[in-house]
Structure 1
């Protein structure tokens, strides 16, 4: 941030009202972060400067920064200035991760949520076909092929594929939502990949289902993309029966 820019108000210059002071300050800073007035990696003004601009105390400014840190919009370290972070699904991923690791019911619900959301994502991806997303999906298919019978690598490639599908929509909010669901996808994918009866044909069939989704999206066919994602989830539902039994044996509720 230049010296001239630092002298100007980047938060809108509106003083906070007495009620919910920290919320008012964090809202104004969040707006500056999300509309690009403060770029990812750029430092925020010092705590004292923020307090002065909004006409609040340093403890209020500090609380506002804590709100933004919890939301994943800034990073803070003791003795250093806060810095803007790229808008991402990290906070949502943490919440979903806690939910699905310790409750079979939450895992079932989360996987159902993924099915509903990704059906729409596949359609929009086929309509827009953003090149960056198609490139990521293609790379993920290659990595899946290399990771057959290797659960960790296969799971990483699986997550990469679905991230690419979100990127292909060109929609930032969809990208963030998909990032948030990575914890759910990782939990399910790892369990599926470690099934004791998973055959070579099963591994290859999973890759081919993803390839069919990619080809439908790359061809710009929303109806086929939706059909292929539904086929993929139908196969996953069958495997879920064994996963549910495994989770039950592990003591989840």
Structure 2
């Protein structure tokens, strides 16, 4: 006799095709995570229960959970049930980090990607002006000012500003994308810190460019926000050329 209590299926499971059993299971679990049926931090059912709901073996259920762990959607500990993670850009950040550290070419491509993406983000942020995002941007400006001349503190404030910019759109997927690009920002900032002639005036000018962008978004002026992004990246491009030239010169001298 079945002594288990009746329970409404959690994953809206559909019969899985033999060719992609684990994929079908992981897709259904991911859907439950994304639509909020399982909140961040909540446990998933045990492997055996997942296997029964989908009509698959425990090894298939285990492989589905492994896929979700690799994607950064759940976390597991030995001997414990898997738990849901909050959606974030950590998996993308790792990929971009590997890429930008591999060569200057990949770094330039990643920075170009940021420029293209953030232009659209700035316009959408100026339309929506989500309160949490605007507050994060304002806090970042304050932290940039207090971290003036401190490369590490300034970098973290800069990253917070751009994540806040994404949050201001009210779009969680855009936020995740910007979080994923934190490794790009960090690598660019570390390169810029190698500029021997970077003065406090340069740091202050960077703050002012960010402030101009913030004010355009706060005013709901999408065209001005796009212009501010363009100006910010134009200045960054000049610095990039300087850094690239320095690194090539160092490589030529065998450093």
Tell me the TM-score normalised to structure 2 length.
0.94
Unaligned runs of 5+ in 2: none
**Which residue number in structure 2 is paired with residue 84 of structure 1?**
84
RMSD: 1.6
Equivalent residue of 1:149, what SS? coil
Using the alignment, how far apart are the partners of 1:104 and 1:43 within structure 2? Answer: 42
Task: Check conservation: 2:166, 2:175, Cα contact below 8 A.
Answer: yes
How does 1:124-143 map onto structure 2 within 5 Å? 124-143=124-143
How does 1:82-121 map onto structure 2 within 5 Å? 82-121=82-121
**Which residue number in structure 2 is paired with residue 20 of structure 1?**
20
**Which residue number in structure 1 is paired with residue 158 of structure 2?**
158
Unaligned runs of 5+ in 1: none
Task: Check conservation: 1:155, 1:193, Cα contact below 8 A.
Answer: no
Equivalent residue of 1:72, what SS? coil
Equivalent residue of 1:94, what SS? helix
Equivalent residue of 2:77, what SS? coil
How far residue 250 of structure 1 moved from its aligned partner, in angstroms, is: 5.6
Using the alignment, how far apart are the partners of 1:5 and 1:157 within structure 2? Answer: 51
Moved over 3 A (4+): 246-251
Equivalent residue of 1:51, what SS? helix
Task: Check conservation: 2:194, 2:243, Cα contact below 8 A.
Answer: no
Residue-by-residue CA offset, 1:40-60 (whole Å, 9 max, x unaligned): 100000011111111111111
Q: Are residue 41 (structure 1) and residue 41 (structure 2) matched? A: yes
Residue-by-residue CA offset, 1:60-94 (whole Å, 9 max, x unaligned): 11100010001111001111110001111111111
Task: Check conservation: 1:104, 1:247, Cα contact below 8 A.
Answer: no
Task: Check conservation: 1:101, 1:187, Cα contact below 8 A.
Answer: yes
How many pairs are equivalent?
Answer: 248
How far residue 175 of structure 1 moved from its aligned partner, in angstroms, is: 0.4
